Structure 1
Amino acid sequence: MAKTRWGILSTAKIAVEQVIPALKYSDSCEVVAIASRRLPGAQQAAERLGIPNAHGAYDDLLDNPDVDIVYNPLPNHLHVPWTIKALEAGKHVLCEKPIGLSAAQGQELVDAGRRHPTLKLMEAFMYRHHPQWRLAHRLATDGSIGELRTIQTFFSFFNNDPENIRSNPDWGGGALMDIGCYPISLSRFLFGAEPTRVLGTVEFDPELHIDRMTSGVLEFERGTSTFTCSTQLADYQRVNIVGTEGRVEIEVPFNAPIDRPCRLWHQDRHAVRELTVDQCNQYTIQGDLFSQAVLNDTPVPTPIEDAVSNMLVIEAILESGRTGSWAPIDQEVEAV
């Protein structure tokens, strides 16, 4: 089987602990290079992970002719500039979420992608590709819970380390950008539409100046979605999808385990059934799907425009938190 050759732009934790090990199990992906700002760091990661090429500068990886696809897990403020550089170097790009610091930055990337129509570009919302979410989406949209009316999501962990990149407001740190983007994304995914307006409450850390707990209400034409996300609460995640005749509950919606089956519960008018999804790795699936789009020159599973729509909702929730009132969602955005 033909394989795509991947280059990893940095030794970020998500790359070395999640994505690279997952790609090793792929039938269509091969990691051939990794870069760091310092060569020893790249060499150590390459040796540990069995990667043949190590680069001491990001530009060197982009210049590597053996790299077909660049995976960009850099801090949020570097997503757009380095993804554009990768496109200009002739590379396909899978970029971590959130796509940038603003919808305008995201639109800048969309425009750059349109200037390179032969290259594939996608935001790495890995959860959407997991079979448990494909099952949940089917149950939510095929009448198995009646008419979808509301979604409730909770996602939290504890981190108050000032040295962590998630604690830097200038780099796009904070709960909403880091994990609040998930409940926004899944709500748009399940309703198959954009919210018309949102209401948000935002609590800021007085020392770190990032939002440490944010709650939001998204109003759609057919229902609502509510969520709370926090970087300073106990570890927990859950999603409930509720319709007029039933509901779906997802036990581990985002950090799906790779060593055991995933569990969902489907309640209809008669009973609650536990459903299981065979163990798998959502990062492997994501890599395979993106690679197949490259190899077959087919559309990526999630168009890059979706990332801009997600950022628009994030910005509206922050605006609502500042004003204390509902904020409309304007789908028109101009690049910076």
Structure 2
Amino acid sequence: MRLVAVLQRAVAPLLVLDRPAVVEGDALVLRLRDPTTAAGQARADDVTVPWYVSPTVSVDVSQTALLRTQGRAQVDANWSTTAWRLWSTTAVGGVYLQAPGPRQGDPPRDFGYLTALGDFAGVASLVSGLSVGVTARAQHAPEQNLLFRASLYGGLEWVLVPFLETRGANVGVRYQLGAEHQEYVRKNVRLRFEENALRHRAVAFATWHLPRFDVSAALQASSLLKDATYSDVAGTVAVAWRVVNDVSIVATASASYRNALWNAPDNLNDLDPLERFTGGGNYGAVNFAGSLSFVYVLGNSVLLRQDQRFSNVVE
């Protein structure tokens, strides 16, 4: 291990490391590339480390017929080698809405909520692109009627190229089966404040990786194991542009069709009007979303795009 680290550091100032060093038989193999053909990659002194941390902060304020303020802070962390991978996401956020009173002189009406999210995944590579993984989530999302949600999934995944090089395309499929516990702000459509169920999902995804740009797409279908009535299909497309070194701009678009949602409130008419305005799209049959974010990476930013194992997890 010490020899591998020394060799990687020796070539880092001169060449870009396409993927971590591997031992093939009695030979140590380093895949290198001229840095002039790999613009926008991580700094040379970072490509040898097996980790990255990516913080994100966003604030949005808009004033139309009503005032809307939204903020979110998120930290993604990853540690991986060719044999295994650990990653996590921690996020907190909030939304505040204020609308004029129904009549002139009436006090304004307001509504707000806070959200929290924690995701974790552990992945172990098997052979020929196959890997097994465990994903877990803890979540507080009142806009989705979720006072608390906890989930634990196990899955099997095949990826054509587990570690993408500076240029290349990739495809993969994954199946996961897991258990979920949900507690609700209001009674759900099955007139319960709490649910426990088994759920499964299948995901197909593809990625196109270039020195400065990445394009990825994923299609997922999921349902309760014993009741396919509560099923959904979702698709996501993302384009990332690495501006300089560890800074990227990412545009994401998604669409989903939900046959039925087991977390939806039993009667949407009981919701506050502003709450319905905020969360109404969360319970509709068809939902669209889009985002534009600026991403900064500490450590090895190459891993953010190269390590493809369980990288399109959608909870």
TM-score (norm 2): 0.29
Structure with the bigger percentage of helix: 1
Larger radius of gyration: 2
Structure with the bigger percentage of strand: 2
TM-score (norm 1): 0.28
